[in-house]
């Protein structure tokens, strides 16, 4: 059986052979042999890292089950020099399974869809470019969530932004 996977790619450290983060992403894409690739975007880091990230998304077809594909992605990361890095720290290459054609997957080492996918523009924006209609199980489409994260909120007459509270009313801040 062949599965389709959405893979998120990120880099914010240069590699001795491949060069700057954009080139690292390009080299990793050659190994993945994707059927579709987004543009590479530059994004601000999350957490303690001070370096900006290059991010992209790719669609890959594979006969590998999710744990086996994860093992392959981790091997590629190691081959690019990734070591046990701190959470949200700098890294030569980060490869994540964002979605797969089988829907949900849950184990001690892997969750699909990616647990924070719907919160992360750096993953959703590239993915929306190549798979806007892909349904995130239990959450709607990639396009809907990318739009939700980019939507501007109306400005109140006072000039202050309005935000929606957890109970659905608008409140000023």
Write the DSSP string, 102-157.
Answer: T--EE-SS-EES-TTGGG-HHHHHHHHHH-TT-EETTTEEHHHHHHHHHPPPPBPT
* pLDDT at residue 17 tops 80: no
Tell me whether residue 172 is one of the annotated catalytic residues: no
Pick the catalytic residue: 22, 75, 78, 96?
96
166 vs 147, higher pLDDT: 147
Pick the catalytic residue: 13, 94, 120, 125?
94
Q: Which residue has the tokens 């450290």?
A: 13
Angstrom distance (rounded) from CA 132 to CA 1: 24
Tell me whether residue 79 is one of the annotated catalytic residues: no
Beta-bridge mates of residue 37: 58
Tell me whether residue 91 is one of the annotated catalytic residues: yes
Q: What is the DSSP letter of 13?
A: S
Domains of the chain are: 3-172 (3.30.70.560)
> For 18-22, what is the mean pLDDT?
83
Confidence (pLDDT) at 167? 35
Beta-bridge mates of residue 95: 9
Pick the catalytic residue: 13, 68, 79, 91?
91
Angstrom distance (rounded) from CA 153 to CA 164: 9
Pick the catalytic residue: 17, 52, 78, 82?
82
**CA distance readout (Å), 118 to 52, 86, 141:** 21, 23, 10
Tell me whether residue 116 is one of the annotated catalytic residues: no
* pLDDT at residue 72 tops 60: yes
> For 134-160, what is the mean pLDDT?
78
Confidence (pLDDT) at 85? 58
* pLDDT at residue 163 tops 60: no
Largest Cα–Cα distance of the chain, in whole Å?
Answer: 58
Share above pLDDT 70 across residues of the chain, in percent, rounded to a whole number: 78
- Answer for the pair 37, 127: CB distance below 8 angstroms, yes or no: no
């Amino acid at each position: 059986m062949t599965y389709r996977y959405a893979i998120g790619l990120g880099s914010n450290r240069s590699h001795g052979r491949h060069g700057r983060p954009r080139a690292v992403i390009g080299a990793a894409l050659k190994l993945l042999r994707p059927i579709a690739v987004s543009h590479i975007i530059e994004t601000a880091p999350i957490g303690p890292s001070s370096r900006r990230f290059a991010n992209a998304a790719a669609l890959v077809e594979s006969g590998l089950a999710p744990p086996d594909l994860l093992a392959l992605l981790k091997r590629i990361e190691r081959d690019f020099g990734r070591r046990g890095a701190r959470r949200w720290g700098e890294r030569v290459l980060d490869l994540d399974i964002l979605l797969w054609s089988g829907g949900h997957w849950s184990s001690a080492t892997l969750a699909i869809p990616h647990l924070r996918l719907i919160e992360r523009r750096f993953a959703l924006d590239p993915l929306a470019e190549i798979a806007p209609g892909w349904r995130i199980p239990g959450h709607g489409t990639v396009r809907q969530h990318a739009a939700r994260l980019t939507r501007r909120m109306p400005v109140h007459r006072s000039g202050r932004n309005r935000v929606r509270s957890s109970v659905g009313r608008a409140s000023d801040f």
